[in-house]
Amino acid sequence: MKIAPSILSADFLDLEHDLSKVIASGADLLHLDVMDGHFVPNLTFGYPLIKKIRHRFDIPLDAHLMITNPELFIPVLAEIGVEYISIHQETVHHLHRQIQIIKYHGIKAGIALNPATPVSSVFPIIEDLDFVLIMSVNPGFGGQIFLPLALRKIAELKAKAAEMNPALLIEVDGGVNLTNALSLQKAGADILVAGSYIFSADDYSVPINLLKNL
């Protein structure tokens, strides 16, 4: 199981120190929640911060684009050098084209699905995907309550992936903590995103190790 701390719950006034700590505590990826105040009712951060994080840290970066026009941002994120990009099914008109563009840049390409979006919506292009991000909250904010409907979506996706794309990674994001992590692993999750659960701990290695050793 890979653990991707969402930096949304980190201390933005002491970010370098906080990210150093979470990386030293065993994070596998850093999950970057990019919000535009349009697709979701919140604003976070963009290129300047991601570029700084890239220059400062070697850890793989996982950009979760909760923005209306993700296609405008893909070439810049490629130039900065992120390893994963997920775009939302609900906001992209030409999903397959955008996935191809992300992959053309050598970046792992994923589709993120809101809680109400069926997993079957990615089946036609499942063979072209590196990962799918199942949202277990409605996107926009950290610290929300986990929606159990994500479990059956993960299981459904895992079954389809076994047949069509066994290398597909399943990432789950929102309200993840020790009370749901084992069920998520059993359903088929490969990457757990966790924000408030990790960053509310005094010692980040405690929640990270608990999530890694279910």
Residues 135-154, interacting with ligand DX5 (CB under 6 A): 137, 139-144
Name the catalytic one among 11, 18, 33, 202.
Answer: 33
Segment 54-93, which members bind ligand DX5 (CB under 6 A)?
A: 64
Instruction: List beta partners, residue 4.
Output: 193
Return d(Cα 127, Cα 76) in angstroms, integer: 25
Residue 27 corresponds to which tokens in the numbers above?
């994070």
| Rounded least distance, CB 127 to ligand DX5, Å | 26
Q: Strand, helix or coil at 50?
A: helix
Residues in contact with ligand DX5, counted by CB under 6 A, come to a total of 22
Distance of alpha carbon 170 from alpha carbon 34, whole angstroms: 20
Q: How many residues does the chain have?
A: 214
Contact assessment for residue 4 and residue 22, using Cβ atoms and an 8 Å cutoff: no
Q: Which of 9, 86, 91, 98 binds ligand DX5 (CB under 6 A)?
A: 9
Binding partner of 205, given Zn ion, ligand DX5, none, CB within 5-8 angstroms per partner class = none
Contacting range for Zn ion; rule: CB under 5 A; set: 102-110, 157-165, 173-181, 205-213:
173-181
Amino acid at 212: K
| Least CB distance to Zn ion at residue 31 (A) | 6
Question: Which of the residues 18, 58, 173, 202 is marked catalytic?
Answer: 173
Our answer to whether residue 173 is catalytic in this structure is: yes
Nearer residue to Zn ion within complex by CB, 18 or 62: 62
Residue 141 DSSP one-character state: -
Please answer whether residues 142 and 195 qualify as being in contact, where contact means their C-beta atoms are separated by less than 8 angstroms.
yes
Question: Is 173 a binder of Zn ion (CB under 5 A)?
Answer: yes
Given the rule CB under 6 A, which of 13-21, 133-141, 150-158, 204-212 is the region that contacts ligand DX5? 133-141
Instruction: Tally helices (H) and strands (E) across the chain.
Output: 8, 8
Task: Please list the active-site residues.
Answer: 33, 173
